Structure 1
Amino acid sequence: MTPDRPAGPTNPPMPPLVYVPTTDEADPAQRRILMHTVEDGRTALYVYSAIDRLHRFYLADNHWIVLDVAGLQKAFDAAPYDLLFVDVSPGLQEIEPEPAR
């Protein structure tokens, strides 16, 4: 993770808090962050800037935790990942179109 990279067209600013999908153990302290292997073999962490986006892009009934950038760094230090996706679907469900505004 490189939090010092400047924001730009390909690097939008990181939200101050993100919702991170986890496993579903009854004791929240025992839950683990869910990571995925993408097609090229790299490990990806999918995070969401709002709970409704987690429900829409990930799975509506999935357990989650909220992390700030320091928390994401601790997660990376404990279990490194290659890619960090914000508000992106890993393809676990069919996505419904956003309602018209």
Structure 2
Amino acid sequence: MTTLAATPVATRPPMPPLVYVPTTDEEDRAARRLVMHTVEDGRTALYTYSAIDRLDRYYLEGSPWVVLDVASLQRAYEAAPYDLLFVDVSPGLQEIDEEARDADRA
């Protein structure tokens, strides 16, 4: 009997059942849209967060948001396709916001 050595397989972390997604800030909540970003290589990215405190920490504190489940994310993709879906990742907006505040103080 031959035993095959187990080979490591890259696995993705499981998708949270619900994610918080940044939106535009129209007063009418029904008119709000998901905020997508263009990354350095030109692809479109949707940043999502597994908890509201992570959205505040990694995105921008106080940003408007909507909670979506996996089926809603699929519908969002069908309406406006994105190339990348990030969970709990910073797009670097805190640094840009901090630089703008510093420039306002000068």
For 1:66, the equivalent position in structure 2 comes to 67
Query: What TM-score do the two structures reach when normalised by structure 1?
Result: 0.83
4+ runs deviating over 4 angstroms: none
Q: Distance in 1 between matches of 2:10 and 2:52?
A: 24
| CA shift digits 1:9-31 (9 cap, x unpaired) | 55100000000000000010000
How many residue pairs match? The answer is 87
Residue 49 (structure 1) aligned with residue 22 (structure 2): no
For 1:38, the equivalent position in structure 2 comes to 39
Q: Secondary structure at the match of 1:93?
A: helix
How far did 1:61 drift? Answer: 1.3
Q: Which amino acid aligns with 1:33?
A: L
For 1:26, the equivalent position in structure 2 comes to 27
For 1:82, the equivalent position in structure 2 comes to 83
Cα RMSD of the aligned pairs, angstroms, is 1.1
Q: Unpaired segments of 5 or more residues in structure 2?
A: 1-8, 96-106
More helix by proportion, 1 or 2? 2
Higher Cα radius of gyration: 2
Q: Secondary structure at the match of 1:53?
A: helix
Q: Secondary structure at the match of 2:76?
A: helix
Q: Distance in 2 between matches of 1:29 and 1:10?
A: 36
How far did 1:35 drift? Answer: 0.2
Q: Distance in 1 between matches of 2:22 and 2:75?
A: 16
Query: What TM-score do the two structures reach when normalised by structure 2?
Result: 0.79
How far did 1:89 drift? Answer: 0.2
